[in-house]
Amino acid sequence: MAEQTDTSKSNPADSAAHSLDLMEAAFPLQPLPEMSLHQAHLSDQSMTRQITEDEWRRAGELDAARTWKEYSDHDLISCDAALAHLEESSFVYYLPAYLFFAVRHRLVEWPHPAWALVGSVVFSVTRRTPYTLGRFKRLTPEQRDAVIAFLRLIAECRADSVGSDAQKALTRYWLTDEATKPLIVIPNR
């Protein structure tokens, strides 16, 4: 497992830089996943209407050959629903784009356009369900360490429910042995 540095008592600016450094090192730019960010965002509409193959293809073309580092804040805010709909490998691939965003905007307040997305990013790595557990188990030890550094930073910087959720997630999952165990799927009979 990669080294876990305790940043809980350090300068918040140093914690942010440390968190960003861990993310940069842990999340590769290649290979690109099958599901694109705009396709995942489009998936949000699948409960209310049929998405055509042409729409799906065009959504994928919006992201053709773009790495997670190439998305602007505007792109991520525009694809705010994508994080909830990415399949597992795409979640792991695009997660650092959203984590970087949340680190940069961790102190914004309502009604800043980034406020809701920061909360969504934290939610995506703090709520443990069978669905999210499948995503978390796809992370490498180095990627887990980057998420831990991110959550420590958020817990340190935010006195609201977002900070509290980050601290609880660290205590209840990310800093436990459970986070390092592989996911075992037992098929239905």
Tell me what pLDDT residue 143 has.
Answer: 98
The confidence score (pLDDT) of residue 10 equals 59
Q: What is the mean pLDDT of the chain?
A: 92
List, for residues 75-122, the tens digit of each pLDDT value: 999 999 999 999 999 999 999 999 999 999 999 999 999 999 999 999
Cβ atoms of residues 136 and 95 within 8 Å: no
Q: Which residue has the higher pLDDT, 51 or 184?
A: 51
Dihedral angle computed from the Cα positions of residues 137, 143, 145 and 148, in that order, rounded to the nearest 10 degrees: -70
Q: Are 117 and 102 in contact (CB under 8 A)?
A: yes
Mean pLDDT within 5-20: 73
Burial class (CB in 10 A: 0-12, 13-18, 19+), 57: exposed
pLDDT value at 6 more than 70: no
Say whether pLDDT at 36 is over 50.
Answer: yes
What is the reported pLDDT for 9? 52
Q: Is the pLDDT assigned to residue 11 strictly greater than 80?
A: no
Cis peptide before 111 (omega within 30 of 0): yes
pLDDT at 136: 97
Q: What percent of the chain has pLDDT over 90?
A: 84
Structure confidence at residue 69 (pLDDT) = 97
